[in-house]
Structure 1
Amino acid sequence: MTSPSVALGGLPRDAAAGTAGATRGAVRGDRRVPLLVSGPPTVLALAVVLPGIGHRQLWRDEHATWWASTLSYPDLGRLTGHIDVVLTPFYVVMHLWTALAGTSPAALRLPGALAMAVSAGLLALLGRQLSDARTGLVAGLLFAVLPTVTRYGQEARPYAFAVLFALLATLVLLRALDRPSLGRWTLYALAVALTGFSHLVALSVLPAHAVAVVRARRAGDPIAHWAFGCATVLGTSAVVPMATEGAGQVGQIAWNNPVLSDLAEYPVELLGSWSAAVAVLGLGAVGLLTAGRRGAVPGVWALLPPVLTFVTSDRLHLFLPRYLLFTVPAWLLLAAAGAVRCADVVTGAARTGRRGRVTGALLLTGAVAGFAVQVWPAVLAARQDLPGEPDFAGAGRVVRAAQRPGDGILYSGVFGERKAMAYELRGGTGPDDVLARRTARQTGSYAAVECDVPADCLSGRRRLWLVSTGLGATRTPLRASTAAVLDERYRVVRTERLRHVTVQLLERRR
């Protein structure tokens, strides 16, 4: 008969209870670690990205997001049949979002801001998975204060989602390699599909994933390559129809023909400022050289996509820093590894134990704070209107304040004036678009087809508003036939010159 004081396994019952309590405490501690690592970067990213999210004016690409997301599904299908088919998933999500949240600048940008905040937390977890909690926490905090995170977290475009899903796919892959299961590999296939749907260029993160799989295979995992291959095929096959259709629309970005000077400017545009680029690339080089095999995945992730897109730019035209925003986490993982390595060397953590680790933590905290102070002017600049973009919000205020029933409006320039003013005058409150013979909705594009005979379309209009972004003479981009009618029949009674845009009120001559 077993003594009441003895439990199974030969341990005294009190000792067994103590061991079980310690185990439960350790499990709870392990569960708290991911939250302690991912929580601060997420909160900091929200605190940096959300302020002023609605202050900056929408620019041309964001006007396209607004226009597409407010179309009916049949009209959206007609649009993406001609242009931007690769953005169809994003537009569908934004269609659902705007139906709930509205179309103010803040509402349009909030999903991107939330995606960046979640990305900061995922990056911290990924750094912990690849290296340790310190590296993950530093990488997540650096990400939160990076100027381009604010810039594209406050933009109604899909680049923040590409960052999010590239991070998610990488983290899920590493955990599937660590503890394989059908559920984890299925989740990885789904994450790959979401990465492609967010932005096709983001799928160039897959070679970095292959590096992790090769390492797992060499470490003795006999099925890692098979599981990875099947999951990748499943994930990418969902994207293939969209990619195939998009290949026929590559002409819409044929204007993007980078040269070597663009490659030299790439780090600054990717990271948001010279100070950010110098700090991240410098520490990243240290991390790449000292991380050993742990640096292989972020190294391939950071370097291969820009190289591939640059060497194929004459055919695919995909080398743009904003298209490659999903590589930023890789650079920050390397920079964080470099910072941790420098802190350990300075403090001699291996020799001084706990004291050295505390000193190292203080050094890393100071380094992150110093980086934030250094790049903060660029973060503030990222919240301002983009340089060179016209003040369409001001133009909208001018027209709304002085318009009368029966007024018409016409446009001159190359900045998407019609779409921009449609946004600023949304709600059906603006003057009639008198030269639009077929609207953008009818043509399945972002531009209207104008009248062949402007004199007929302008007939009977006593007052016209001319919104022009033409450089030099305000009517330079106008068609000669339109300019001739305006000169003959109308006189300018008011001119408002705003930043890169001019608003003129024209009245019919008596």
Structure 2
Amino acid sequence: MIGQGQKDWLWLGAILALAVALRIWGLNAPMWHDEIQTLVTHLNLGWGEMVQSYSMNHHYLHNILAKISMTIFGDDPWAIRLPAMLFGLGTLAVIWVLARGMAGATVAHVTTLLLTLSYHQIWFSQNARGYTGLAFFSVLGMLYFLRGMERPRRGTWIAYGFCLAAAVFTHLTGAFFFMAQGVIWLAVVAIRGPRGRLEGGLIRLPFLGFLVGGLITAAFYLPLLPSLIDTVSNVSGTSATDVMQEYQNPLWTAFEAIRTGIGHAGPLTALVGAAVLILSILGAIALHRDAPLFAPTTFLHIVLTAGLLMAVGMRIWPRFFFVDIAFLMLLIVMGVQLCCALIGHFIGGERVSRVLFILSAIAMTAISAGLAKRNYDFPKQDLAGAYAFTEAERKPETRVFAIGYAGQDFRDHYKADWPILFTNDEYVAALAAPGPVILVVGFPERNFRDVPQLAIDADAFGPTNVCAPDHTAPVLTTLRCFGGTLGDGNVIVFGRD
């Protein structure tokens, strides 16, 4: 006979097998701008050169692992993305352990299955960046934090310190999550201390964990410290001049995170946001007795991250909150379970509650599976397709220009000989000369603002969709629009005869 514990582990194995299949499918799709820049400016360097200067684009621990993968398997996209995929799978396993300990096996299975099908979790697991690594070490850190606060032990808190260091060495914003936990720890000490309910180890051992993590992090970043300070001190200046000022608005961040998950849904986006908020609060209520520190840590991290990024004038990208997806999913499942229990309490008892929760889990799984399909509709950003199409279309007399930052990818990765136009003056000067021209525009929403004459020539803000293949503007004709799942991830190829 197979015991219940063994059945639980078999369920986890089945869920992880599904996760592997969903993440291998499409793992070798073309890379997008940030991945290419990571490859060109970091992974292609020697080992010593990789850690000589700091850049927001370098996720150091992840990049070291990605370089190891490249050394073994080559530089195909799947090999460069392999560490991100493995960290994504590891995150699923750890959240299952965390959820099972707090809420039981059923909630753990449902939460992990929904994360397995999560659009965002799949997307980032196929993204050669450090965000799944950051999520893995944060979820593991949450596991050690809750265990250490409940039963303070030296080994638990030392392991916590290593999670802290690994997360922050992956990306500086990893510090925000552990700062939130530090605030929660100090609040517990302040509340319990005067009441005489504070164990002696609850001061000394957490302090040891934060000290270990801080010292290791400082040792990792010491060679990069001068350039790190310079980069962080200048971030507000670059953000202030960014034409995409909405990137610094936390409301935009929330709506963008939902929009990327469900697609362009109009007013439904706000309804989904409200549902997530309400169910998360209900989930916090449901978990309060067994895990009173879990929800406060999650909510505080979200508020703290948004506040600190606003304080330093930095763009508030949705990906900075990727670590919270697993925690929010657990809260949502708990919120749904509580709703089902309340309904059952009034109309039919425990059996009705159980049936309602099963039906709700099936519905959430079906919706998640439908949304996950969108990951496979397009690459993240089809720069490779745009390059191949343009080279096939160009004639000897045709001049080809790349617009904006994507031009660096065509030049440095695809070895294109296309001049790059960044400003409106450069664009006007380039098109002043007669003759056929092809323009390759990555991040079109940004570039239509950076280069307003391009927007006019492409009729970008007119009634016609510039991605329509038959779109003809007064000056430019849309030759091809290459779709992408990345926000502003389309690549548009325009032509002029």
TM-score normalised to the size of structure 2?
0.71
Percent identity among equivalent residues?
17
1:285 Cα deviation (Å)? 2.2
Q: CA, structure 1 residues 407+100, in 2 after alignment: closer, same or farther (shift >3 Å)?
A: farther
Instruction: Select 2:99's aligned residue among 127, 137, 147.
Output: 127
Report the counterpart of residue 466 of structure 2 in structure 1: none
- 2: CA distance between counterparts of 1:215 and 1:208? 13
1:175 Cα deviation (Å)? 3.3
Superposition map of 1:65-464 within 5 A: 65-67=38-40, 68-77=42-51, 80-81=53-54, 83-84=55-56, 87-210=59-182, 211=184, 218=192, 221-240=199-218, 241=221, 244=225, 245-250=227-232, 251=234, 254=239, 255=242, 258-259=248-249, 261-262=251-252, 265=255, 268=258, 274=269, 277=273, 279-294=275-290, 296-312=292-308, 313-317=310-314, 319-347=316-344, 356=350, 360-385=353-378, 389=381, 391-398=382-389, 411-420=401-410, 422-423=412-413, 425=414, 433=417
1:161 Cα deviation (Å)? 1.1
Write the letter of the residue equivalent to 1:394. Answer: G
Secondary structure of the residue aligned to 1:323 is helix
Alpha carbons 1:109, 1:154 under 8 Å: kept: yes
Alpha carbons 1:466, 1:504 under 8 Å: kept: yes
- 2: CA distance between counterparts of 1:408 and 1:77? 42
1:192 Cα deviation (Å)? 1.1
- 2: CA distance between counterparts of 1:271 and 1:204? 24
Task: Report Cα offsets for 1:115-136 as digits up to 9, x if no partner.
Answer: 2222112112111223333332
Secondary structure of the residue aligned to 1:73 is coil
Secondary structure of the residue aligned to 1:163 is helix
- 2: CA distance between counterparts of 1:37 and 1:123? 14
Secondary structure of the residue aligned to 2:312 is coil
- 2: CA distance between counterparts of 1:128 and 1:327? 18
- 2: CA distance between counterparts of 1:175 and 1:229? 15
- 2: CA distance between counterparts of 1:175 and 1:37? 24
Report the counterpart of residue 62 of structure 1 in structure 2: 35
1:246 Cα deviation (Å)? 2.7
Write the letter of the residue equivalent to 1:126. Answer: L
Write the letter of the residue equivalent to 1:396. Answer: Y
Q: CA, structure 1 residues 319+503, in 2 after alignment: closer, same or farther (shift >3 Å)?
A: closer
Considering only aligned residues, what root-mean-square deviation do their CA atoms show, in Å?
A: 4.3
Alpha carbons 2:144, 2:159 under 8 Å: kept: yes
Q: CA, structure 1 residues 182+272, in 2 after alignment: closer, same or farther (shift >3 Å)?
A: farther
Write the letter of the residue equivalent to 2:357. Answer: L
Task: Report Cα offsets for 1:208-252 as digits up to 9, x if no partner.
Answer: 534368669956532022111111121123223368543421335
Q: CA, structure 1 residues 45+364, in 2 after alignment: closer, same or farther (shift >3 Å)?
A: farther
Alpha carbons 2:19, 2:117 under 8 Å: kept: yes
Write the letter of the residue equivalent to 1:163. Answer: A
Q: CA, structure 1 residues 188+314, in 2 after alignment: closer, same or farther (shift >3 Å)?
A: closer
- 2: CA distance between counterparts of 1:30 and 1:36? 10
Secondary structure of the residue aligned to 2:69 is helix
Structure 1 unaligned blocks of 5 or more: 1-24, 437-446, 448-463, 478-494
Secondary structure of the residue aligned to 2:301 is helix
Task: Report Cα offsets for 1:396-454 as digits up to 9, x if no partner.
Answer: 324666999x999974310322324543x3xxxx56x4879xxxxxxxxxx9xxxxxxx
**Which stretch of structure 1 is more off in the superposition, 107-116 or 378-387?**
378-387
Q: CA, structure 1 residues 403+422, in 2 after alignment: closer, same or farther (shift >3 Å)?
A: farther
How many equivalent pairs are there?
A: 423
Q: CA, structure 1 residues 343+475, in 2 after alignment: closer, same or farther (shift >3 Å)?
A: closer
- 2: CA distance between counterparts of 1:207 and 1:398? 48
Q: CA, structure 1 residues 299+180, in 2 after alignment: closer, same or farther (shift >3 Å)?
A: closer
Alpha carbons 2:19, 2:89 under 8 Å: kept: yes
Report the counterpart of residue 490 of structure 1 in structure 2: none
Q: CA, structure 1 residues 411+74, in 2 after alignment: closer, same or farther (shift >3 Å)?
A: farther
Q: CA, structure 1 residues 468+420, in 2 after alignment: closer, same or farther (shift >3 Å)?
A: same
Q: CA, structure 1 residues 213+360, in 2 after alignment: closer, same or farther (shift >3 Å)?
A: farther
- 1: CA distance between counterparts of 2:46 and 2:398? 26
Q: CA, structure 1 residues 34+408, in 2 after alignment: closer, same or farther (shift >3 Å)?
A: farther
1:393 Cα deviation (Å)? 1.6
1:370 Cα deviation (Å)? 0.7
- 2: CA distance between counterparts of 1:37 and 1:281? 29
- 2: CA distance between counterparts of 1:209 and 1:270? 28
Alpha carbons 1:38, 1:120 under 8 Å: kept: no
Superposition map of 1:6-21 within 5 A: none
Q: CA, structure 1 residues 409+29, in 2 after alignment: closer, same or farther (shift >3 Å)?
A: farther
Structure 2 unaligned blocks of 5 or more: 264-268, 423-435, 442-446, 455-476, 482-490
- 2: CA distance between counterparts of 1:468 and 1:199? 32
Alpha carbons 1:46, 1:117 under 8 Å: kept: yes
1:32 Cα deviation (Å)? 3.3
Secondary structure of the residue aligned to 1:103 is coil
1:498 Cα deviation (Å)? 2.9
1:178 Cα deviation (Å)? 4.8
Secondary structure of the residue aligned to 2:28 is coil
TM-score normalised to the size of structure 1?
0.69
- 2: CA distance between counterparts of 1:504 and 1:186? 60
